[in-house]
Amino acid sequence: MTLISPLEDLQENTLRAIPGCLRRLEYVARLRDKEGSYGHWGLVRVYGDRSAAKALSQAHRDVLSQILSTPLRNLVRDAEQSGELTGVPPGAYLERLSAGGPDLLPESPGAGSVRHLNSVLHALSSLLKNQIPDASPPA
């Protein structure tokens, strides 16, 4: 049996199963309570409170960093897929995500992260609203 860290376990067995970095951000953010503590029953059971919380906090930072470094065209596809999987139009999905506000962010996310994420979500929303349907004939 290969020993893996709590973070690797979380990434390989939980986050990998969630399609799209926007949905992964939403998932990890929901694991935090109002006091800022993370909770994940399986990780806590296997690794203990402190190790699980540390892994969840790091995963939250990693997912945010991934979103902030992903090209907008890729995030548009991610938003479209996320909306489809949740059964809402992509614009409505982004509105719901944006409504999460500061709860989407990990604790002490770093200088500019709040504004950067807000601008990315706003840009995605605008791009989706102003998308021009593909005018090329089907192949």
In which residue are the tokens 């969840």 written?
56
pLDDT digits 0-9 by tens, 40-95 = 999 999 999 999 999 999 999 999 999 999 999 999 999 999 999 989 999 899 98
Closest residue by Cα to residue 55 from 33, 35, 31? 31
Dist CA 136 CA 60 (whole Å): 40
pLDDT of residue 113: 82
Closest residue by Cα to residue 55 from 79, 69, 38? 38
Tokens representing 64 are: 């945010």
Buried b (16+ CB within 10 A) or exposed e, 2-30: eeeebbebbbeebbeebebbbbbbbbbbe
Domain boundaries, the chain: 6-129
> Does residue 136 surpass a pLDDT of 60?
no
pLDDT digits 0-9 by tens, 28-48 = 999 998 888 998 999 999 999
For the chain, give the mean pLDDT: 88
